[in-house]
Amino acid sequence: MKYLRLALQWITRLWFMIPPLFVYCAYRIFHLMSGYYSTEEGLWSDAYFLLLFLYIVAQVNLLRQDKFVQFLLSLIPGAVMAFTVVSIGMAAQSAPTRFGIDHPIPEGLAYENVLPADSILTQEPSPADTASWLQIYRGSQGGIYEYTLYAPPLLAGEVFLRCYEVTENIALSKRRLRKASRCPVEASETFSRIVDRQRFTIYEGDWGDYYAVRVEVWHHPRSGKEQKLLEKVYAMEGWMR
């Protein structure tokens, strides 16, 4: 509790430093959006939201300490912070990355197309199938997908996806994909449906710019090593954040 009070004192005392740092983070994020999504952009985004949280904490503490003048003065930089939030949000929706253009699908490459969300095409494996079976569907927007998986007997644990751009083996949406695609599974004794329309997002790329993606399905039992169940290549596009 002592250290918490000390931290609050410093946050409140240095409240005027938070907005400039916040705006600088916004500038860095905006600059990085002109390229591919990267770990650096993710780190700046984390700092961005941390500073927003610290600003709110400082504001509340100023009011609690009856420092009304400082509170009113801080509303001006607070308005600037709000403007940058809106600006970054709008930029995130429209900033092209050229990822798909810079990674065209190689000629002669065998790949599958993602099925529409309401597709009436093959949605179930044939009775003769006994190996892992994967189907990916388009979600509500380009870059947002859902997958269905059938698999032979598995140990209890979880399944998840790893995706890679084919020509340069670039890991896609590395910070988010495993968490989004993860699905717990119970022990099974027969070939059965393990995942039903689990949603995930590919962030690299722009709407309409398709590139080749190797989708790998992995199984991680509760006790034991991860094992790849299958992989398939799809033509996919990225979500324009």
Q: pLDDT of the chain along its 241 residues, tens only?
A: 555 555 555 555 555 566 666 666 665 665 555 455 555 555 666 777 777 777 777 777 777 777 776 676 666 666 666 666 666 656 555 556 678 888 999 999 999 999 988 775 556 777 667 788 999 999 888 899 999 999 999 999 999 999 999 999 999 998 889 999 999 999 998 899 999 999 999 988 888 899 999 999 999 999 889 999 999 999 999 987 6
User: Where are any strands of DSSP class E within the chain?
Assistant: 112-113, 133-138, 144-151, 157-165, 170-171, 183-185, 192-201, 211-221, 227-236
Q: State the pLDDT at residue 63.
A: 74
Structure-block tokens of residue 169? 């083996």
Query: Are 141 and 239 within 8 A, CB to CB?
Result: yes
Closest CA to 143 of 114, 171, 168, 118: 114
CA 48 to chain centre: 16
Site of tokens 């009436």: 120
Predicted structure pTM score: 0.65
Q: State the pLDDT at residue 108.
A: 93
CA 212 to chain centre: 19
Query: Are 12 and 180 within 8 A, CB to CB?
Result: no
Number of neighbours of residue 48 by Cβ within 10 angstroms: 22
Give the separation between CA 138 and CA 178, rounded to whole angstroms: 18
